[in-house]
């Protein structure tokens, strides 16, 4: 009888453990009440300033979630911040989030004090991301993963990752190699082209990719941009304002954008971002001002010719021009040179009036289906920016439609900032995390969505 009781006891313990595990894996983690969301909506309405706006789905989390990324799953994003695992955060029909663990404890620290870079969704089966000096590849169907060591030097870091040709398994891994430039930390970029499906990464080619002025993971400083499109690698060099093009083998190549860019390069100041549309013949280019030489002005301050208040007044126009961002649309489907480069936002005005207030911006992204362009309006602070979306259409003049304001992180916390962003492929949605709350904007079937137009 005692043996039977003991067996029942162990069975009960096992059942409890299983139930706890299932609860941890599948339970909704929405911690925000209807009142919380109503309060956020009131703040959102004030922030939208009578612009066409879309209120997000808001989900408060039980866990701190900073890193989010695209995954091959419907209405879901991924994270590495829960339970030392790669997990899926899945939105259900009630706009709650369920946690599903994909791979757990495959490393001592799945998350940690590393620099991370996440690829967009490039496969129906797997994801890959960089963790300071190595890359993690995770298959979502087989649940198998492997680590690809890229760097053995403690002075080097992995910067950005990009897809070059997903069908051929070609990717670009940016290696940042540090050196001292006076009292500044500067990194040279080495762009490694290759396949990291195997544990031993041997790049097919390495191309120099310009300078990264600042620390890895820091948005401040100037980084000469590079990007990929249709199996080609594009690198901007600021010293001669040129764009160099390479093929999948790292061999010098060409693209029609070079001709259009070169004809207009004197119109650009310092190029910050270049973004190609996946299908349509245009690219978005973002630039900002060069730092002026203010030594003569400082001399006047030092010798007493002007006082500090006068110095600040004289310095302000130069500083404003340095910080002012411009957005250009460069297209190559026309021979009309007046239509090849279009100032979307410039000192002369904006092609789209509803973005008149934008002075500083970054992180331009096309949605997976190419129907939306989303970027950060950092005019009132880069830590918690306003996200703005612009619809893309082949039929629209210059491909761009009327902006839709998405908003920002809405928690009542003066130190709040956006921790990460991710796209959902189905339905097309944009997601941000502020560390404890997810905000999701469903951009699919936008005409039937709840749009606020005060």
If you search the block for the tokens 């030097």, which residue do you land on? Answer: 153
> Contact, 390 vs 352, CB < 8 A?
yes
Quick one: pLDDT at residue 261? Answer: 94
Spatial neighbors of 134 by CB under 8 A, at least 6 apart, are 147, 148, 149, 150, 151, 158
The C-alpha atoms of residue 270 and residue 427 are separated, in whole angstroms, by 36
> Contact, 241 vs 271, CB < 8 A?
yes
Quick one: pLDDT at residue 45? Answer: 75
Quick one: pLDDT at residue 421? Answer: 97
Quick one: pLDDT at residue 10? Answer: 55
The C-alpha atoms of residue 23 and residue 112 are separated, in whole angstroms, by 25
Distances (CA, A) of 97 to 21, 28, 32: 17, 5, 11
Quick one: pLDDT at residue 323? Answer: 86
The C-alpha atoms of residue 401 and residue 362 are separated, in whole angstroms, by 19
Element (H, E) at 330: strand 326-331
> Contact, 361 vs 327, CB < 8 A?
yes
The C-alpha atoms of residue 435 and residue 380 are separated, in whole angstroms, by 20
Quick one: pLDDT at residue 124? Answer: 95
Instruction: Please provide the DSSP assignment of 121-188 as one string.
Output: P--SSEEEEEETTEEEEEETTT--EEEEE----TTEEEEEEEEEETTTTEEEEEEEEEEEETTEEEEE
Token digits of residue 195: 């396949």
Alpha helices in 90-133 (DSSP H): none
Question: How many residues are listed for the chain in this entry?
Answer: 454
Burial class (CB in 10 A: 0-12, 13-18, 19+), 267: middle
Quick one: pLDDT at residue 100? Answer: 95
Token digits of residue 349: 């005005």
Predicted TM-score (pTM) of this structure:
0.88
Quick one: pLDDT at residue 338? Answer: 87
> Contact, 87 vs 125, CB < 8 A?
no
Quick one: pLDDT at residue 394? Answer: 93
The C-alpha atoms of residue 251 and residue 48 are separated, in whole angstroms, by 48
Token digits of residue 395: 């039929």
Low-confidence stretches of the chain (pLDDT < 70) are 1-30, 49, 180-185, 214-220, 447-454
Ramachandran angles phi, psi of 15, nearest 5°: -60, -45
């Amino acid at each position: 009888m005692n043996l039977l009781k003991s067996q029942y006891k162990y069975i009960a313990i096992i059942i409890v453990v299983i139930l706890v595990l299932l609860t941890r894996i599948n339970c909704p983690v929405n911690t925000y009440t209807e009142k919380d969301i109503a309060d956020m909506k009131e703040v959102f309405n004030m922030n939208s300033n009578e612009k066409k706006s879309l209120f997000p789905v808001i989900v408060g989390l039980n866990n701190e979630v900073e890193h989010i990324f695209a995954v091959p799953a419907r209405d879901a994003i991924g994270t590495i911040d829960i339970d030392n695992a790669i997990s899926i955060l899945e939105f259900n029909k009630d706009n709650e989030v369920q946690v599903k663990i994909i791979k757990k404890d495959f490393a001592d620290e799945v998350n940690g004090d590393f620099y991370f870079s996440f690829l967009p969704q490039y496969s129906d089966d797997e994801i890959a991301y960089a963790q300071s000096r190595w890359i993690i590849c995770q298959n979502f169907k087989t649940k198998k993963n492997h680590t690809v060591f890229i760097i053995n030097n403690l002075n080097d870091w992995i910067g950005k990752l990009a897809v070059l040709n997903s069908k051929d398994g070609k990717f670009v891994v940016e290696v940042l190699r540090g050196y001292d430039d006076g009292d500044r930390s500067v990194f040279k970029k080495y762009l490694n082209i290759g396949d990291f499906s195997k544990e031993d990464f041997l790049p097919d080619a390495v191309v120099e990719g310009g300078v990264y002025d600042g620390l890895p993971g820091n948005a401040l400083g100037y980084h000469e941009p590079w990007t990929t499109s249709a199996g080609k690698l594009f690198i901007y060099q600021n010293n001669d304002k040129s764009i160099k093009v390479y093929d999948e083998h790292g061999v010098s190549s060409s693209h029609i954008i070079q001709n259009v860019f070169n004809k207009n390069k004197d119109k650009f100041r310092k190029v910050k971002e270049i973004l190609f549309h996946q299908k349509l013949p245009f690219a978005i280019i973002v630039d900002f001002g060069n730092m002026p030489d203010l030594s003569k002005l400082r001399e006047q301050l030092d010798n007493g010719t002007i006082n500090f208040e006068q110095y600040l007044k004289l310095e302000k126009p130069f500083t404003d021009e340095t910080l002012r961002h411009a957005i250009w649309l460069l297209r190559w489907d026309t021979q009309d040179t007046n239509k090849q480069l279009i100032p979307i936002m410039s000192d002369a005005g904006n092609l789209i009036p509803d973005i008149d207030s934008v002075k500083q911006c970054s992180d331009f992204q096309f949605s997976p289906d190419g129907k939306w362009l989303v970027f950060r309006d950092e005019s009132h602070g880069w830590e918690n920016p306003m996200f703005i979306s612009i619809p893309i259409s082949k039929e629209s003049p210059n491909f761009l439609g009327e902006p839709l304001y998405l908003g920002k992180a809405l928690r009542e916390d003066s130190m709040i900032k956006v921790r990460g962003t991710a796209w959902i492929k189905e339905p097309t949605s944009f997601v941000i995390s502020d560390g404890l709350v997810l905000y999701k904007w469903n951009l699919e079937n936008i005409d039937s969505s709840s749009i606020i137009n005060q």
